[in-house]
Structure 1
Amino acid sequence: MSDWITSLEGTPAGHDLALGLALMAAFLHALFGALQKGRHDPWLTRGAIDASYGIIAAPFAFFVVPWPEPHMWVIFALAWVIHTAYKIAQAYTYTLGSYTVVYPVVRGTGPLFTVIGAWFLFGEVFTWVQWAGVAVLLAGIYGLAAYNLKHWQIGRDKLRPALAMAVLTGGFVAAYTTWDAYGIRATADPFTFLAWFFFIDGLAIPPIAYLRWRNMQNRPAVGPLMAKGVSGAFIAYMSFGSIMLATRLDSVGEAAVLRETSTVFAALIGWLMLGESTGPRRVALMALIAAGAVIVEMGG
């Protein structure tokens, strides 16, 4: 499969596959975010997910995929730092704010900085139509943030810090998207990057989550928590793997923007799974975000 993926790089077929992968990543990432924001503490859920995908990835990293080239260890080290910072910021964000409020800001802040980072690292240049699409997307994102700031009543006292943390988390999204795209392009076999990434990335948060669980007065049962962790692990494999393969096959900036159609899926998931109200104005603003992503794709 690795040979087939690499043979499609830079081709029209590769572009079409990257489009499908980015959209699949959008839906799966919205589902992943809802899973982390569910009834368990976000720190515990993230710890269970990371432990699960680290353990599952270990035999593939050590015994299945080709061994990483020497230069990859520096790339993995920096990726670990960026992702750990991102997950800490994300956990604080989900602790402070409702999922439907903070998720669009987290996921929508990233594309602008990702597009700029892709220009620096890969020499990618957006057309004026694509920049117009980014502007539409950002108008939807920050319009949504302003609307939430004015009208959202649940956890009102924590809304401003929640939105600030969401913007910070979005910055980490841009950092890891750009750096990971560089990493998956720096190795001969893309699945070497993915297997080793998941193994290494699973080492940071589980100890933090365990300490948090141990200090709780009412500790949740481990069984249901780990069941959620295993489910989240497989969603993470598909979501992160899809977007990383998309960035190897085609434009990093376009893939990052298309993934932010996840805000539309997030609104539906927040309503159906978490019981969070949406409303026509917020739906319209989320649709504006998705429209910006479509304009970017059409203008490329």
Structure 2
Amino acid sequence: MSAWIVSLEGTEAGRSLALALAILAAILHAVFGALQKGRHDPWLSRGAIDGAYGLMAMPFALFVVPWPAPHLWPILAGAFVIHTGYKILQGYTYVYGAYTVVYPVVRGTGPFFAVIGAWIVFGERFQPLQWLGVLVLMGGIFGLAAYNLAHTTVARETMPRALMLAVATGGFVALYTTYDAYGIRAAADPFTFLAWFFFIDGLLFPVVAALRWRRMADRPTLPPLLLRGFTGGIVAFLSFGSIMLATRLDKVGEAAVLRETSTVFAAGIAYLFFGEKVGPRRLALMGLIAAGAVIVEAGG
């Protein structure tokens, strides 16, 4: 599998696979965000999900994939630090803001900075038509956030703080997207990076969640929370694994932009599971998001 992935790098088949992986990541990332924001405290959900995918990755990291080369250990340590910062910011964002408002802001901020990061780190250059696509996509995402903000009654008093945190979280999305692309390209075997990333990344937040759960006066029952963690762990493997592989196979900036169509899928999840209505205005804004992604891909 690893040799096949590596053989596709820089080929047209690799580009097509990267496109499919980025779209898959978008769908699954919306599911992942909803799992963290759902009925449980976001810190508990995050801890359960991280613990699940850490345990799932451990046997692969220790016994299946080749061990990381010496130069890869500091890269994995850096990824752990960046993702920890991202998860802390995201947790506070979900605590203070309505999911349908803050999620689009996070996802709308990320691609702009990710494209710049890909230019700085990898020398990728977007064509003028692709920049137009980025602007169209961001306009649709931020328009969706503004529409949701105007129509939500949830957490209105803490929304300014939540929006600032959402922008900062979007910056971390761009940072980890660029950094992880660097890391997976630095590994001879991409699955070595993936397995060890998930194993190491799953160490901290289960401890944070356990301490928080012990301090709660009204503790949630563990079986539903652990089931959410198991489901989220599988989704995380497929979502984050897909986008990381996409950034190894093709351009980082394009993969980052395509992933942000997750906002469209998140709106569908909000409609189906959170009771949010999807009217003609929101449909039009989601159409802009999709159009922006198409323009970016066509412009490349």
| TM-score, L = length of structure 2 | 0.97
Question: Counterpart in 1 of 2:95?
Answer: 95
Distance in 1, matches of 2:278 and 2:103, equals 13
Within the alignment, does 1:285 sit opposite 2:285 as a pair?
A: yes
The one-character-per-residue Cα deviations of 1:174-194 (angstroms, maximum 9, x if unpaired) are 000000000000010000000
> Once the 2 structures are TM-superposed, how far is the Cα of residue 96 of structure 1 from its aligned partner?
1.5
| Paired residue type of 1:279 | G
Distance in 1, matches of 2:213 and 2:283, equals 36
Residues 104 and 142 in structure 2, CA contact (< 8 A), matched pair in contact too: no
> Once the 2 structures are TM-superposed, how far is the Cα of residue 290 of structure 1 from its aligned partner?
2.1
1:92-131, aligned counterparts within 5 Å? Answer: 92-131=92-131
Distance in 2, matches of 1:146 and 1:4, equals 44
Task: Give structure 1 regions of 4+ aligned residues with deviation exceeding 6 angstroms.
Answer: none
Question: Counterpart in 1 of 2:57?
Answer: 57
> Once the 2 structures are TM-superposed, how far is the Cα of residue 152 of structure 1 from its aligned partner?
2.6
> Once the 2 structures are TM-superposed, how far is the Cα of residue 276 of structure 1 from its aligned partner?
2.3
Distance in 2, matches of 1:142 and 1:31, equals 20
| Paired residue type of 1:103 | Y
Q: Which runs of 5+ in 1 are unaligned?
A: none
1:30-109, aligned counterparts within 5 Å? Answer: 30-109=30-109
Distance in 1, matches of 2:167 and 2:280, equals 24
**Structure 1 range deviating more: 140-149 or 251-260:** 140-149
1:157 aligned counterpart, secondary structure: coil
> Once the 2 structures are TM-superposed, how far is the Cα of residue 151 of structure 1 from its aligned partner?
3.6
Distance in 2, matches of 1:164 and 1:142, equals 14
| Paired residue type of 1:81 | V
> Once the 2 structures are TM-superposed, how far is the Cα of residue 4 of structure 1 from its aligned partner?
0.4
The one-character-per-residue Cα deviations of 1:187-225 (angstroms, maximum 9, x if unpaired) are 100000000000000012111111111111110011111
The one-character-per-residue Cα deviations of 1:248-289 (angstroms, maximum 9, x if unpaired) are 000000000000111110000011012223433233223212
Distance in 1, matches of 2:279 and 2:163, equals 19
| Paired residue type of 2:182 | Y
Within the alignment, does 1:265 sit opposite 2:265 as a pair?
A: yes
1:1-300, aligned counterparts within 5 Å? Answer: 1-300=1-300
Distance in 2, matches of 1:224 and 1:145, equals 30
The count of residues paired between Structure 1 and Structure 2 equals 300
Residues 141 and 263 in structure 2, CA contact (< 8 A), matched pair in contact too: no
Residues 109 and 141 in structure 1, CA contact (< 8 A), matched pair in contact too: no
Distance in 2, matches of 1:149 and 1:232, equals 27
| TM-score, L = length of structure 1 | 0.97
Distance in 1, matches of 2:112 and 2:281, equals 24
Residues 133 and 293 in structure 1, CA contact (< 8 A), matched pair in contact too: yes
The one-character-per-residue Cα deviations of 1:136-172 (angstroms, maximum 9, x if unpaired) are 1122223233334444322211222222111111111
1:156 aligned counterpart, secondary structure: coil
